[in-house]
Amino acid sequence: MKFLIPLLLACLLPLAAADSKPGSATYVTAADIQSTLKKLPQGEVTDEPIRVVDIGKGKAGVAVVLRSAKAAQNAVYHSQVTEVYYVLEGSGTMVTGGTLMKPKGLQNGPIAGPTNSGTSLENGQSRRVGPGDVVIIPAGVGHAFSKIDGDSIRYVVVRFDPDKVLPEK
């Protein structure tokens, strides 16, 4: 987790250079992350926002996600929000890019703004991910887990939202 903070700061700097400057910083502590993880229901896919803050020209959000190996692993892309995953526990195979199969059409998702979902990604890039790995998923890039090892995978997701579509938290 010690490498996550410098990475996030580097990603946030371009968004923070804004016409209206926020007056304070927002802290998300390890205790915030752990207490939110403990509240997540087991056996499904749960995405729980911890904070969403205005950073001037955009918003940034921090959430934790638990993906159960038993749950359906649909593919998605967010049209306006970039995501950064930091894997805390578990491992699996993540697919990014490619073509979204059987898309349902763009809908305003409650977690990450306008989102399209489908059954899988065709011709995407598969990579194994595990604890300590970071994945940066630009807006418009499809992503999905094709396989989750063991019971589940848990990760922190930081969302960058230049269009301010994320709901307040």
pTM of the model: 0.85
- b/e code 34-51 from CB counts within 10 Å (16+ = b): eebbeebeeeebbebbbe
pLDDT at 127: 97
102 contacts: CB under 8 Å, gap ≥ 6: 118, 119
Q: Domains in the chain, ordered, with CATH? A: 4-161 (2.60.120.10)
Helix (H) or strand (E) holding 31: helix 30-39
Q: How confident is the prediction for the chain on average, in pLDDT?
A: 87
Question: Cα 13 to the chain's mean position, in Å?
Answer: 19
pLDDT at 11: 47
pLDDT in tens, 94-147: 999 999 999 998 888 778 888 999 999 999 999 999 999 999 999 999 999 999
Query: In the chain, pLDDT over 70 holds for what percent of residues?
Result: 86
